Chains A and B, each alone.
Chain A
Amino acid sequence: MQNLKQTSLYEKHKELGAKNIGFCGWEMPLQYDGILKEHSACRNSAAIFDTSHMGEFFFEGNLLFSGVNEATTIDVIKLPVGKCKYGFILNQSGGVIDDLIIYKVSPERLMFVVNASRIDADFKAIQNCLESGVFTNSSEQTSKIDIQGPKSKEILQNILKFNLDELEFFSFCESTIMNTFALISRTGYTGELGYELYLDNEIAPKVWDKLISLGATPAGLGARDVLRLEMGYSLYGNELNEEITPLDAGVGFFINYDKHFVGKEALVKQKEQGPKYNTIAFTTNSKRAPREDMEVIQNSQVIGRVTSGTFSPSVGMGIGLARVENSLFDKDAPISLKTNRGEISITLTKLPFYRKDK
């Protein structure tokens, strides 16, 4: 695979016999021993994922006067130190430039975690809002390992110097792992108890090996995608893009309108008029998997397309999300997907597709 960037864990993936794919300019592991096995490790034990391709930016300055609070839908002034929050970077039309998490490290310091494919666009969009402060892209120097699953806490505790009981959901802590600076947050993209570790490139391979020796199963992007879709989480490029607002994508509930942000006027207007699109969640009632871009059919016409689809091992059926035009969509009429092997009838459902302790 030519011209693809490699993470600090590339050699580790090779040792483990990973099947790699090109993803957003990076050569990343799609799977190791198989998506089903890795998925099951995450739901029942603990899995680790290399997510070092993701971007990390740091801002240092006055949060109120620098303009940084305009840049995203997240209110970084209200956000308590030690907490992180999910939100969006929008364009003037309310279209999603990216979804991200902001960490409030101190009253004057923030970390932004963004999608690999959007690093340049995001950096520019945030920079455009800034009148002061120091804003840096540290993506290349930062490795990231996610440990997710019911056993993630007891495994991770072994290499930490603080008690993980103290870390609440969407909280984080700056500490050390193997005598090197690390940031640990109780967050994830799987719906399981889990943590994301932001690490120096040098130490990341050692942490990776240590977590495996303590019982974590390496899992690739294939399992990660199935796990996030079972929870109904959006993926940038699938559910979200610059032509689509968070309201169209069904994630408007993440937005707080108490402060100003780029794109707010467009969203307020769209809220009054009603969004153009609706994002629906559905199952196939069989093992058939819906696939991205399949047409959604209702009353003999195309009303939208599948944005994400997979077979769900936890649900035992095909699951998917689709973006449909509100003016054509009837929530009570029969609905199906068009495939080159006939139509698949689907049933609308509520998110998440999978609930723990069912």
Chain B
Amino acid sequence: MAKKYSSEHEWAEIDGDIASIGLSAYAVEQLGDITFVELPEVGSNINKDDSVAFVESVKAASDIYTPIGGEVVEVNLELEDRPELLNENAQETWIFKLKISNMDEFDTLMDEDQYKAFIESL
């Protein structure tokens, strides 16, 4: 399974035509303790770079922009009660899953090394 990153600090991991979307460890580190996650609606069709979800920490708030477009097929409901899962393991905690409409969008994202270089340049 390949994992790639957007410049808005989301990651996408693909398994067949399904992509899991999460927040990078860097983004979570910047936000601090996460206290609230608003999830997208299952069944909604979303376009690349749409603001589809929302996270809040004690001191900050941030939109989550989907790095790929498609149809939302599943959301991580556990995050409603335990938003701190994102702090505990951002790389493994997916926020929602979507059925990819255009695989080219995944290909244009950054791989691990490119993303590392990107955050070092910030």
Which of chain A's residues have a CB closer than 8 A to the CB of B33? 34-37
| A31 part of interface (Cβ distance < 8 Å) | yes
Closest CB in chain B relative to A263 CB, distance in Å: 34
Question: B36 near A341 (CB under 8 angstroms)?
Answer: no
Render B51-71 as a binary contact track against A, CB cut-off 8 A, 1 for contact: 000101111010000000000
Question: B59 near A35 (CB under 8 angstroms)?
Answer: yes
Which of chain A's residues have a CB closer than 8 A to the CB of B32? 19, 31, 34-35, 222
| B35 part of interface (Cβ distance < 8 Å) | yes
Question: A30 near B59 (CB under 8 angstroms)?
Answer: yes
Q: Which of A24-41 contact B (CB under 8 A)?
A: 30-31, 34-37
Render A1-43 as a binary contact track against B, CB cut-off 8 A, 1 for contact: 0000000000000000001000000000011001111000000
- State in angstroms the CA–CA spacing of A222 and B31 once bound together: 12
Question: B61 near A311 (CB under 8 angstroms)?
Answer: no
| B92 part of interface (Cβ distance < 8 Å) | no
Question: B59 near A287 (CB under 8 angstroms)?
Answer: no
Question: B56 near A288 (CB under 8 angstroms)?
Answer: yes
Question: A311 near B58 (CB under 8 angstroms)?
Answer: yes
- State in angstroms the CA–CA spacing of A37 and B84 once bound together: 12
Render A34-54 as a binary contact track against B, CB cut-off 8 A, 1 for contact: 111100000000000000000
- State in angstroms the CA–CA spacing of A238 and B88 once bound together: 33
| B38 part of interface (Cβ distance < 8 Å) | yes
Question: B54 near A289 (CB under 8 angstroms)?
Answer: no
Closest CB in chain A relative to B45 CB, distance in Å: 19
- State in angstroms the CA–CA spacing of A291 and B35 once bound together: 14
* With A34-B32, A35-B33: A289-B38 Cβ-Cβ less than 8 Å: no
Name A residues whose Cβ lies closer than 8 Å to a Cβ of B. Answer: 19, 30-31, 34-37, 222, 226, 286-289, 291, 310-311, 313, 341
Q: What are 22 of the A-B contact pairs (CB < 8 Å)? A: A31-B32, A34-B32, A34-B33, A35-B32, A35-B57, A35-B58, A35-B59, A36-B58, A222-B58, A226-B58, A288-B36, A288-B56, A289-B58, A289-B61, A291-B61, A310-B58, A311-B36, A311-B56, A311-B58, A313-B35, A341-B38, A341-B54
- Leading 8 A-B pairs by shortest Cβ distance: A287-B36, A311-B35, A36-B33, A35-B58, A34-B33, A35-B33, A289-B56, A222-B59
Name B residues whose Cβ lies closer than 8 Å to a Cβ of A. Answer: 32-33, 35-36, 38, 54, 56-59, 61, 83-84, 87
